[in-house]
Amino acid sequence: MPDYYDMDDIIMEDQHIQVIFQVGANGVGLLDPGSENNSVEKGAKVELPFWLAHELQLRQAVSIYLPACFSQKTRNEIKADAACVNLKVHCPYFYELGCKIVPLVSDKTIGSFLYETFTSRYLEMLSKSHSASVLTAPKFLPRLSKEEMQLFEASRSSMMAFKKWRAGGSRLEKAPVLGRKRKTTIPTFPSSP
C-alpha cells in the first residue's frame, strides 16, 4: 500500500517515464542528453523519474507521455493472453505505476485495463502458488511484477511453513546467539618457583 516510507513505493517512483516539456527550463540541461547549452527548451522530450514528472505536471511544466508498458501494442499482447506476458521486462511495478498515472494522463481506459490484466493473471497465479512445488516456480516467477511477486511469496511461504510444521520436528529451536563454542581464555600464569 502506498506510503511515504514504503520502500517499494520509493523504488517505484524512480521509474523513468517520458515527458514533454511545456516550458523552457534553464540550468537543468542534465535532464536532456541532447541539449547543447545548460537548458531544456520547450517541446523537448525527456526522460524523468516519476516523482519529478509528477511534481512538474502539477506545476504544469511538463505533460506526461504514456509509458511504453501501457502502449497499444503491449495492451494487445496482454489482451491476447495475460498470463504469459512478462511484466517484469516491461515494468516491474506495472500496477502501481498504472494506478499513479491514471489521474495524470488523459487516457481513461488504463484503470479498467489494469484491473482486467490483474484479474486474469490472478487466476493463473492462484493455482500455481498454492501447490508450492519447486519445479514449476522458476518458469513462472520471472513474469510477475513486483506486487504479484509479493502475493505469490506470501502464499508460498505460509504453505511451506505449514508443511514444515506438519513434518514434525522439535519445537525448541536453538537460539542463533549460541553459535560456536568459545574457548574460555583463562590466563595461565607461569609457574614460578
Partner 1 sequence: MMSGLTYDDSFSDQNILRASGLGELQPCLGHNNSAELPQMSSVNPTSSARRLKPLSLASMAGQSDPQLSLLSAPEVEFLAEDEMVEIVPNIKMESLNMICGDFGPFFPQIACKVPLWLAAALKKRGKCTIRTPEWMSVDKLTQVLETERETPREFQPLPFHYIEISKLLFDHAHDDVQDTYMVRSLIEDIRDVRFHKVESGLENISGRTHAVKLKNLSAMEVNIVRPFMMRTLQAFYKHDNPQIIQQHNISGRKQPQVLTRSTRNLRPR
Which parts of this chain interact with partner 1 (CB under 8 A)? 1, 3, 95, 99, 102-103, 108-112, 114-115, 118-119, 122-123, 126-127, 129-130, 147, 150-151, 154-155, 157-159, 161-162, 164-166, 168, 171-172
**Would you mind telling me the total number of residues written for the chain in this entry?**
193
CB-nearer residue toward partner 1: 21 or 94: 94
CB-nearer residue toward partner 1: 21 or 129: 129
Q: Which amino acid is at 118?
A: F
Q: How far apart are the first and last CA of the chain?
A: 76
CB-nearer residue toward partner 1: 39 or 120: 120
C-alpha cell at 172: 525448541
Q: What are the CA-CA distances from residue 95 to residues 91, 100, 154, 178 (Å)?
A: 9, 9, 18, 44
Report the nearest approach of partner 1 to the CB of residue 96 (Å). Answer: 9
Report the nearest approach of partner 1 to the CB of residue 129 (Å). Answer: 7
CB-nearer residue toward partner 1: 20 or 162: 162
CA distance 79 to 163: 37
Q: Give the CA diameter of the chain.
A: 96
